[in-house]
Every structure is written in C-alpha cells, then in structure tokens.
Amino acid sequence: MKEYDDLRNILKSFIDSDGRLTAYPAKRKMKLYAMSYLSGIFEHGRVYTEREVNELLNKAHTFNDPATLRRELYNHRFLNRDKEGKEYTLEDILPTIEELEKKYG
C-alpha cells in the first residue's frame, strides 16, 4: 500500500528493520504520522478489547508504552471506543497524509 510505504519513509528514523516504532516522536506532526502508521495494524469493522489493542501495539513498537499509544490513537480519532472504554474499533474514515500535512504542516 503506497500510503503505508510513504509513512514508513517519513518515519524511517523512528522505525526499526522489523517495522516497529522505536520511539514516540516529540513533534506533533510526526506523532500524527506515527498514529496513522500504527492505525494500519487494525482492521476496519473488527471490534477489539483493550487487551487486544495493547497486544497489537506491543508487537508494533519497542518502547513498552501501549497505554500512551492507545490513548493517542483514540484522542486523534484513529480509534473509537465505547463509553466504558472496553471495546475499540478503527475509525471508519482515516485522515490521509495530505490531510495531516495540511492541518499540522
């Protein structure tokens, strides 16, 4: 997928050879790219428990902080969650790289 490859290229200093995020970027724009990149590990239409979200995130990063990543994915509207915070789904419409750059560029 071209957009995923573009994100890997943009985030190359934050991604290891296995495609895992090695650090959480400090700059807002790069954080959003990282969130967009991580959203690629989730399937549209599937419901995830918090535990499943954490397990996927743990496989996708190396710095052992799935809670921060989960919160950021939710706060930036890449993931939705139910009122109790027990079930998560991927947002139906995700922002493109171009939209992120326009908004935060």
Per the structure block, which two tokens stand in for 22?
């090695």
Work out the pLDDT band at 21, boundaries 50, 70, 90: very high
User: Model-level pTM?
Assistant: 0.92
pLDDT of residue 60: 98
Q: Of the ranges 2-6, 15-19, 58-62, which one carries the lowest mean pLDDT score?
A: 2-6
Q: Of the ranges 27-36, 37-46, 95-104, which one carries the lowest mean pLDDT score?
A: 95-104
Per the rule left: phi > 0, alpha: psi between -120 and 50, beta: everything else, 77 is: left
The answer, yes or no, to whether residue 2 has pLDDT greater than 70, is no
Crossing angle for the helix pair 28-39 and 97-104, nearest 10 degrees?
A: 160
Residues 6 or more apart in contact with residue 13 via CB below 8 angstroms? none
